[in-house]
């Protein structure tokens, strides 16, 4: 089955700096890659997603890039704010309705 | 418009007991997936229900079973509870072939 690895496990940045989280996947059939933000004690919330026919997608301060050849995708957060502090999970799926394989999460701390 | 609703929010059970967790999907969603999230880990796929049938199953033993009702709500049953079953159980709903999941807030199960 699919194996998703996520790095780093923890990340601390100064407010206003950028944060980058990287994930790799093993199954070349995967073609949908969502990113979820989970604040302490709350539900995971979808923040951005990308399909394999697209190399990059941006939504305000958040962007995701995908390299199908290398089987890796990354989350980029610019101009970080303290409210960006949370655990971020990447995931991979063969299609949007299928089971998601999640990474182990990155705990992001934005220092004011 | 209600999102995904899970009950109960917290539960404490003794080893060997049985537990039933409940999920009401987001209005208009017809597919329900269940995930187990151990502390500090990413969610792990248990199974998915569509049209009242289990459509996909992750690597979980038969002690984990489920059901989907005609109104799309779903139950997760776990028999013969083990200490290792202690986790946050997340329900996610989606549209068949739709975009991504909407997660519920989860049920925190503690087995003592």
Residue A51: closest C-alpha in chain B: B99
Exposed / middle / buried, residue A28 (Cβ in 10 Å: 0-12, 13-18, 19+): exposed
Residue A97 at interface with chain B, using a CB cutoff of 8 Å: yes
B32 min Cα distance to partner chain A (Å) = 10
Q: What pLDDT is attached to residue A94?
A: 84
On whether any CB of chain B is under 8 Å from the CB of A51, the answer is no
pLDDT of residue B97: 62
Distant-in-sequence, close-in-space partners of B53: CB < 8 Å, separation ≥ 6: B68
Least confident of A60-69, A71-80, B76-85, B87-96: B87-96
Asked if B51 has any chain A CB less than 8 Å from its own CB, the reply is: no
pLDDT of the residue at B98:
61
Determine contact: A10 vs chain B, CB below 8 A.
no
Interface test with A, best of B2, B39, B42, B88 (most A CBs within 10 A): B42
Contacts of B90 in chain A (CB under 8 A): 43-44
CB-based burial of residue A6 (10 Å sphere; 0-12 exposed, 13-18 middle, 19+ buried)?
Answer: buried
> Is A40 within 8 Å of chain B by CB?
no
∠ CA B19-B94-B76, nearest 5°, is 10
pLDDT tens track for A9-18 = 999 999 999 9
Does the distance separating the beta carbons of A44 and B95 come in below 8 Å?
Answer: no
For residue A97, name the pLDDT band (cuts at 50, 70, 90). Answer: low
Task: Give A101's contacts in chain B (Cβ within 8 Å).
Answer: 45
Q: B100 and A96: CB-CB below 8 Å?
A: yes
* 8 Å CB contact of A99 and B41: no
Token representation of residue A31: 């073609």
Instruction: Render pLDDT for B45-104 as a digit per residue (tens, 0 to 9).
Output: 999 999 999 988 999 999 999 999 999 999 999 999 999 999 999 999 988 666 678 899
DSSP for chain B, written as a single string: ----EEE-SEEEE-TT--EEEEEEPPTT--EEEEEEE-TTS--EEEEEEETTEEEEE-S--TTEEEEE-TTS-EEEEE-S--GGG-EEEEEEEE-TT-SS-EE---EEEEE-
Q: DSSP letters along A100-112, please?
A: -EE---EEEEEE-
Is B48 an interface residue toward A (CB < 8 Å)? yes
């Amino acid at each position: 089955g699919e194996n998703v690895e996520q790095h780093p496990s923890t990340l601390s940045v100064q407010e206003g700096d950028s944060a980058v989280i990287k994930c790799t996947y093993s199954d070349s059939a995967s073609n949908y890659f969502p990113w979820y933000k989970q604040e302490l004690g709350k539900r995971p919330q979808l923040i951005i997603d990308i399909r394999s026919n697209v190399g990059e997608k941006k939504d305000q301060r958040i962007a995701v890039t995908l390299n199908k050849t290398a089987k890796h995708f990354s989350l980029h957060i610019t101009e970080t704010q303290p409210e960006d502090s949370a655990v971020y999970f990447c995931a991979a799926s063969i299609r949007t309705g299928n089971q998601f394989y999640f990474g182990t999460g990155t705990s992001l701390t934005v220092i004011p | 418009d209600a999102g995904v609703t899970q009950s109960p929010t917290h539960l404490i059970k003794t080893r060997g007991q049985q537990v039933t967790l409940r999920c009401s999907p987001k209005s208009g969603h017809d597919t329900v997936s269940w995930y187990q999230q151990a502390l500090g880990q990413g969610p792990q796929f248990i199974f998915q229900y569509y049209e009242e049938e289990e459509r996909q199953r992750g690597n979980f033993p038969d002690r984990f079973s489920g059901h989907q009702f005609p109104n799309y709500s779903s139950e997760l049953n776990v028999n013969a509870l083990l200490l290792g079953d202690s986790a946050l159980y997340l329900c996610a709903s989606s549209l068949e072939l739709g975009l991504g999941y909407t997660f519920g807030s989860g049920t925190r199960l503690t087995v003592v």
